[in-house]
């Protein structure tokens, strides 16, 4: 089920006699169970797009639909959105986790009773029960981040907007937040994830949309995109250098030899190469595999 539809969004800022076309013809969608990584360099137009989705910035053209409703025409559409934007500013630092959850629950239209019940469930689930009465500013950064996500979920939204959810977290807290993101998508929510941490985007996303100077330059399943940018060559690492006879046989199939490392262009030549190499000891064979950071740099620098 399509939870978010963004259609031909356009936004131009005008200030001090200057105009900036921040977002141009941006379209994408996110289905239930899906994590879309929305990536772009600084100033590419991510925040403007997200603010238009969250109903905070009015588009000049185009429209947003959340669970079929346009947040700029029907504010009830925003009941289907939870957001953790700009760090964890969606929580009150002088309140406790329990108070934050209950307060935002009621603010989002829940009764006091339901807000308390949901707060309890979320505190358990996010392993914050033992800190429920500690004021937020005295919690660790990881706990604050978990609470920020819990608060965004209090009204059980279908769409979750997550901006840099793992920024500044240590390894353990990062693992926890990654697990939670997977679980939240697993229970059927759609997640829009923005981050400059491309390894995290690669791990968590099903699809990627890359924005450059206000325009989408790639939109694809994460695996497919990475595959497209990966080469066909193989790299073989040997335990010892080869004798001249094998070297010349390998050269005949266009292999490139650099010390104990051999590069072979494609899969059929790889098997011919392995025949020639027998019985030399092989340390590893690897395919030339791109990662999301390689793809991003190629597309954004192009």
Ligand X SMILES: Nc1ncnc2c1ncn2[C@@H]1O[C@H](COP(=O)(O)OP(=O)(O)OP(=O)(O)O)[C@@H](O)[C@H]1O
What one-character-per-residue DSSP string does 91-106 give? S-TTS-HHHHHHHHHH
Q: Which of residues 44 and 270 has its CB atom nearest to ligand X in the complex?
A: 44
Q: Which of residues 56 and 129 has its CB atom nearest to ligand X in the complex?
A: 56
How is residue 178 annotated by DSSP?
H
Rule CB under 6 A: choose which of 3, 9, 22, 85 binds ligand X: 22
Q: CB of residue 16 vs ligand X: minimum separation in angstroms?
A: 9
CA distance 233 to 141: 43
Q: Which of residues 45 and 82 has its CB atom nearest to ligand X in the complex?
A: 45
Instruction: Give the number of other Cβ atoms within 10 Å of residue 99's Cβ.
Output: 17
Q: Is 15 in the site for ligand X (CB under 6 A)?
A: yes
Q: Which of residues 134 and 213 has its CB atom nearest to ligand X in the complex?
A: 213
Three-state SS at 118 = helix
CB-CB contact of 191 with 36 (8 Å): yes
Question: Strand order of the sheet with strand 215-221?
Answer: 81-84, 159-163, 190-194, 35-39, 207-212, 215-221
Q: CB of residue 44 vs ligand X: minimum separation in angstroms?
A: 4
Q: Which of residues 166 and 176 has its CB atom nearest to ligand X in the complex?
A: 166
Question: Applying CB under 6 A, what is the total number of residues that bind ligand X?
Answer: 12
Rule CB under 6 A: choose which of 7, 10, 20, 69 binds ligand X: 20
Q: CB of residue 52 vs ligand X: minimum separation in angstroms?
A: 10
Give the count of alpha carbons within 13 A of 50, CB side only. Answer: 28
Burial of 215 (0-12, 13-18, 19+ CB in 10 A): middle
Residue nearest to ligand X according to CB distances in the complex: 47
Interface stretch with ligand X, choices 14-22, 164-172, 248-256, 280-288 (CB under 6 A): 14-22
Q: Is 89 in the site for ligand X (CB under 6 A)?
A: no
CA distance 160 to 192: 6
Q: Which of residues 47 and 145 has its CB atom nearest to ligand X in the complex?
A: 47
How is residue 254 annotated by DSSP?
T
Q: CB of residue 245 vs ligand X: minimum separation in angstroms?
A: 56
**Inter-CA distances, 57 with 23, 54, 116, 166, 256, Å:** 12, 8, 32, 25, 55
* Contact set for ligand X, span 218-247 (CB under 6 A): none
Q: Which of residues 46 and 65 has its CB atom nearest to ligand X in the complex?
A: 46
Interface stretch with ligand X, choices 37-45, 92-100, 226-234, 263-271 (CB under 6 A): 37-45
CB-CB contact of 154 with 105 (8 Å): yes
Q: Which of residues 126 and 296 has its CB atom nearest to ligand X in the complex?
A: 296
Q: Is 165 in the site for ligand X (CB under 6 A)?
A: no
Q: CB of residue 221 vs ligand X: minimum separation in angstroms?
A: 22
Q: CB of residue 145 vs ligand X: minimum separation in angstroms?
A: 18
Interface stretch with ligand X, choices 35-43, 154-162, 176-184, 274-282 (CB under 6 A): 35-43
* Contact set for ligand X, span 38-57 (CB under 6 A): 40, 42-48
What one-character-per-residue DSSP string does 212-223 give? ETTEEEEEEEHH
End-to-end CA distance of the chain: 34
Q: Is 13 in the site for ligand X (CB under 6 A)?
A: yes
Q: String of b and e for 118-144 (b: at least 16 CB within 10 Å)?
A: bbeebbeebebeebbeeebeebeebbb
The site for ligand X (CB under 6 A) is made up of 13, 15, 20, 22, 40, 42-48
């Amino acid at each position: 089920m399509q939870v978010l539809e963004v259609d031909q969004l356009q936004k131009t800022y005008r200030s001090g006699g200057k105009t900036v076309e921040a977002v141009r013809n941006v379209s994408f969608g996110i289905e239930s169970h899906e994590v879309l990584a929305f990536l772009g360099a600084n100033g590419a137009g991510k925040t403007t797009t997200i603010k238009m989705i969250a109903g905070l910035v009015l588009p000049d053209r185009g429209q947003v639909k959340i669970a079929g409703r346009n947040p700029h025409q029907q504010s009830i559409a925003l009941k289907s959105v939870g957001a953790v934007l700009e760090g964890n500013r969606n929580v009150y630092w002088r309140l406790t986790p329990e108070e934050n959850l209950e307060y935002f629950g009621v603010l989002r239209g829940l009764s006091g009773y339901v807000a308390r019940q949901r707060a309890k469930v979320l505190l358990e689930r996010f392993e914050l029960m033992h800190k429920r009465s500690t004021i937020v500013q005295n919690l660790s950064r990881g706990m604050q981040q978990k609470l920020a996500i819990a608060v965004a979920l209090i009204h059980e939204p279908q769409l979750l907007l997550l901006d840099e959810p793992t920024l500044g977290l240590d390894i353990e807290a990062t693992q926890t937040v990654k697990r939670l993101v997977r679980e939240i998508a697993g229970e059927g929510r759609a997640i829009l994830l923005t981050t400059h941490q491309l390894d995290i985007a690669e791990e968590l996303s099903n699809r990627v949309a890359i924005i450059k100077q206000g325009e989408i330059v790639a939109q694809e399943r994460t695996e497919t995109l990475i595959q497209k940018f990966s080469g066909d060559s193989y790299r073989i690492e040997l335990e010892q250098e080869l004798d001249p006879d094998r070297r010349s046989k390998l050269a005949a199939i266009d292999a490139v030899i650099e010390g104990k490392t051999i590069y072979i262009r494609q899969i059929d030549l790889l098997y011919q190469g392995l025949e020639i190499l027998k019985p030399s000891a092989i340390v590893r064979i690897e395919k030339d595999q791109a990662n999301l950071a390689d793809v991003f740099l190629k597309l954004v620098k192009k």
